A and B are shown apart, each in its own frame.
Chain A
């Protein structure tokens, strides 16, 4: 399988085109990335978390955050009815206020893609499907590829794949890389276009910040359109420091290659206050270029209602309470 040249075309000419030519060169490159000082990274994320977002800035950020949500249901108990309800919520997050923006995408399991696609007909809301045996990813590559192709065939606009954390932790970076390249190929539609590929690292399992920086570069070199922190299915999901580090990685990757990659923290972001902190990190690390749903997403479910309550508070000056937003 041809890997680099075909699948990361933007990397050509940047001096990084040979990085993934072999197991050895990829390892050398990833281990040559600057280290991450844990204390310093966490301190920076905490400092950015103290920004005070008020009035007009808050109104802007709330609407931006709503428009960036990948509204998610990933339960064994998901039904057609549940997914339809979620899609209705995504289309009209606040039925009392038509100025409320829509969410960016609805994120479901592959077997629910067709349902979601149908329920979202006539909107520009994307359907994202997890794939590659989400969340553990512990199946053979052909199964992962079939899982992906199935979701794409059902109409998924975006694929959220999981990497093989076992391979990464045992140092088989090349296997992880090749798997992403293969999944990207499986994202190809009949008309030759590609479903957008988000690569989930499950940073809570990779544990160290050095690993997060390495896996970010690995995924971007392999052609990821988005890098995503977590599945939401493990104890530690998105955290501000991990997300900050990934923001730095996409910034550095674009500087090195000219290719812009999106970032999606997922899991554990539940409040408007949390979302503000993430948007502040994007703002002060990457700036305007990433402040759109095209380049930054929140993987979340309960976050939306908190944003809606805060939005109502800004509009009316009063807190309404959880009975005034819909539970779906």
Chain B
């Protein structure tokens, strides 16, 4: 049998080391059809906007326009809220076990269409396919499965017999985990018997619109889920709408504060999940290699576009050099580039505006005297990119130690004693999350008890599970999402 040789020179030394990974691209076509323009999803139908203004969503890795979508008007919001109101009576009257069937069905369809959703999310958001495939979409399905399980057990959630839903929930979500934030909002709302109007972020509307298609596939009654797209004006119209009973917002602290003001004095129930500036505290007895992984995962996961990102590394001074050497060595192996390549670790920054903000804050860090370091890595020509960056010699007074950067930028501070670590960790207006690295169990408990943060991870970071409540202290917001606690936000209790 004659053989054709394709392996000509396998041992040739390619650029990037002996063992350079060949491109392993996921097919963009797997995202399914992307329409040239989208309207809203209201009352179970895809409908045109009452206005004529359209926005564009781009692939942040290429700057190519993916689709146009409608800028939701006050009238669009009004139609959507009305549709949700009409659907509420029947939906809330369904036995919980019946609502659960729909949620289980949605969860299964998400799993079945997982590849499609993962590719679409990666294209619209810029995050690596490895992350959407292995984290985002499985988490989305898990959230629906989990809350499907609660739907017929609400009597045992701790709020007495037959707790009542609130009515119509207006939900506004950010661009960093578009479909996952949707799941965090919609799954508990539907399980408890509410109907929803959701506004996805203006840079990442596509997976929410695809989710609308999944709702239809699942046979969800019309009007139970409504999606209205647009920018902050649409969001404001939704949160201000008089017939909305519940507002749930995830996003920046300034917008969250504005919503809280807007809703003050109304009977609307509000939950806010806002910014963060988490401290990742590494004690001198930490498991160093795993701590380095946790630091990398804490700040470079999802390009640092994570509200609970471990953006402040607090390292005990006695191991500072050793840890930073190991961290830099590890950062040098991070693969930045095409989000659809299965070997990419860090994808594109979501938007030009976000890239500008990251650039502005890192410039300020340098100007204030902190030392900046990034590994050598080539960035693509088009699109929005930022090298993974660490700042050493940072003090509490620097802007990069205080403000949320929301990018792949880590500020390194040091401490001498556990008391100092806790004092510095808590010295922020935020209080969303924190991390503790030590082999000593008693020190984990001691530290966790003193940290003012909604989530404290011990010897890990950025771990999420639908059974575990998530939410903040102080300017990081209020209310909890996830777990049994997450039901309260959607119940009249």
Chain A residues engaging chain B, CB cutoff 8 angstroms: 34-37, 39-41, 43-44, 50-64, 96-97, 99, 248, 279-280, 283-284, 287-288, 291, 311-312, 314-317
Contacts and interface: CB of A to CB of B under 8 A. Distances in A.
B214 to A, nearest CB: 26
Contact of B287 (A40, A60, A315): A40
Contact of B459 (A39, A58, A283): A39
Given A35-B287, A51-B343, A54-B22, A288 B17 contact: yes
B293 A314 contact: no
10 contacts: A44-B289, A50-B134, A53-B22, A54-B21, A54-B24, A56-B14, A63-B7, A64-B11, A288-B17, A315-B7
Contacts, number: 108
B3 interface: yes
A60 B7 CA distance: 9
B293 A40 contact: yes
A56 B10 contact: yes
A311 B19 CA distance: 17
B444 to A, nearest CB: 12
A196 B439 CA distance: 37
B342 interface: yes
B140 interface: no
B439 A35 contact: yes
A253 to B, nearest CB: 14
Nearest to B6: A315
A312 B286 CA distance: 47
B21 A59 contact: no
Given A53-B21, A61-B19, A288-B17, A99 B5 contact: yes
B6 A314 contact: yes
| Interface pairs A-B: 5 shortest CB-CB | A40-B290, A52-B24, A52-B342, A37-B290, A37-B287
Contacts of B1: 96
B285 interface: yes
A217 B14 CA distance: 33
Interface in B306-340: 333
Contact of B23 (A34, A54, A287, A288): A54
B294 interface: yes
Contacts of A291: 17-19
B19 A279 contact: yes
Contacts of A60: 10-11, 18-19
B239 to A, nearest CB: 39
Interface string B226-242: 00000000000000000
A314 B7 CA distance: 7
B426 interface: no
Given A36-B289, A57-B22, A283 B17 contact: yes
A189 to B, nearest CB: 31
B4 interface: yes
A55 B8 CA distance: 12
Contacts of A314: 6-7
Contacts of A283: 17-19
Contact of A40 (B22, B134, B285, B459): B459
Contacts of A280: 19
A34 B286 contact: yes
Given A40-B294, A63-B11, A50 B130 contact: yes
Contacts of A315: 3-7
A95 to B, nearest CB: 12
A39 B297 CA distance: 14
Interface in B449-472: 459-460
Given A279-B19, A315-B6, 19 more contacts: A34-B289, A35-B439, A37-B290, A39-B460, A40-B459, A41-B289, A44-B293, A52-B24, A52-B343, A57-B20, A57-B22, A59-B6, A60-B10, A99-B5, A284-B333, A314-B6, A314-B7, A315-B3, A316-B4
